[in-house]
Structure 1
Amino acid sequence: MSVRFVIEPLEKKHKRADFFCGNERIDRYFRETVSQDVKRKYATCFVAREISTDRVAGFYTLSSSTVPLNDVPKTLAKKLPRYPSVPAVLIGWLGRHTDYAGQGLGDALLFDAIRTVATSPIGAHAIFADAIDDAAAAFYEAFGFVPLTERPRTLYLPVATAMSLLSV
């Protein structure tokens, strides 16, 4: 079986103008804003590029973040130190071009994001994801992410749990 995609950091060579995932907010962000966020160090962006065509098939962003301890589900919060916030990495945006639907690319992007965070030498207790809608929230929940108490579209996955997903 040959490798069809490579996931790599966003560069100027990546053509973003024709990216279409079906959500206008995500499309507009990726086409118009992501490079500014990368330049300002607000986020790091990784793209899935189809090797045979050089076409951008999907992307995700990662940013450093914290979440108030009070927002973490009580069952998880009781196991954490009593600091006011939890150090984390945020998956802020994740999109897959509609032409690649049903091929597992969204899952691959999420697993790459999890691997990137879990193997980083920077301390982070959890990975958070901001789901743009209920379908996106369900996508993250299928991989073990748990909604925050006060923000159900922000989902939480301890890095230790994430690491166990990677060894499956």
Structure 2
Amino acid sequence: MESIRVERLTAQHDRTQFICPPGGLDTYLRERARQDIRRRAAAVFVGVYPSAPQRILGYYTLSALSLKLQDIPVPYQRPLARYPDVGVTLLGRLAVDVAFHGQHIGEFLLLDALRRVVSSSSTIATAGVVVDALEGAESFYTHYGFLPLTGQRYWLPLNTVQSLFRVPFDPLLTEDNS
């Protein structure tokens, strides 16, 4: 199987062939993704095969979000700053073209997104990753350790994300410090 390359969405990518109807994920890519990039509402990343770099296999979006401290599960509140709002990274959308289902591209894109969050967390503070899962996608996220918040919203604490990539914990974020 050919390796996948993840890159920022550009005008060179063919958005017209992308099909992923649940939740309007294909419509978003065709009609709103480039606008969100221009407006700095979201960063959009696409997975492609290097041999066919215009054909989008799947995509995800990342943006900043804040949660109320009390909306985070109590065990995870303690090591966080005592501000009313906590900065997190929103994995706004994650979609795979129906032609590529069953090839673990969703997993690959999720791990790429989480790797980007870990990488940027030393520059821009984030307490974790939040996703608003579409109905039926909850088990995908919980399989990777996401914890339920409210409704269809799930979160993955930054320490858990770091542990996926064996990044040393920041001692200021561990629960052992009082």
Q: TM-score, normalised by structure 1?
A: 0.91
Does the CA contact (< 8 Å) of 1:4 and 1:52 recur in 2? no
- Alpha-carbon distance in structure 2 between the residues aligned to 1:28 and 1:154: 22
Which residue number corresponds to residue 141 of structure 2?
Answer: 140
Report the AA paired with residue 89 of structure 2: V
Q: CA deviation at 1:82?
A: 2.0
Match of 1:123 among 118, 122, 125: 125
Task: Give 1:24 shift.
Answer: 4.9
How high is the sequence identity, in percent, across the aligned residues?
37
CA shift, 1:165, in A, is: 1.1
Q: Residue 6 of structure 2 contacts residue 45 of structure 2 at CA under 8 Å; is this kept in 1?
A: yes
Where in structure 2 are the equivalents of 1:1-168 lying within 5 Å?
3-54=2-53, 55-120=55-120, 121-133=123-135, 135-148=136-149, 151-167=150-166
Letter in 1 for 2:75: T
1:153 & 1:165 partners in 2: Cα distance? 23
Offset from partner CA, 1:105-139 (integer Å, 9 cap, x none)? 00000000000010112111111111122x22221
How far apart are the structure 2 equivalents of 1:128 and 1:34?
Answer: 19
Aligned residues: 164
State the 1:3 CA deviation. Answer: 4.1
CA 1:24–1:129 in structure 2 vs 1: closer, same or farther (change >3 Å)? closer
Aligned-partner Cα distance in 2 for 1:152–1:29? 22
Superposition CA RMSD, Å:
1.6
| SS of match in other structure, 1:59 | strand
Q: Is the 8 A contact 2:23 2:134 kept in 1?
A: no
User: Is the 2:2–2:49 contact (alpha carbons within 8 Å) kept by the matching residues of 1?
Assistant: no
Is contact 2:20-2:26 (8 Å) kept?
yes
Q: Give me the whole-angstrom Cα distance separating, in 2, the residues matched to 1:97 and 1:51.
A: 17
Give the greater-gyration-radius structure (CA). Answer: 2
Are residues 119 and 13 of structure 1, via their aligned partners in 2, closer, same or farther at CA, if it must alter by over 3 Å?
same
For structure 2, the 5+ residue unaligned runs are 168-178
Runs of 4 or more, structure 1, over 3 Å off, are: none
The Cα of 1:155 is off from its aligned counterpart by: 0.9
> In structure 1, the residue corresponding to 2:57 is in which secondary structure?
strand
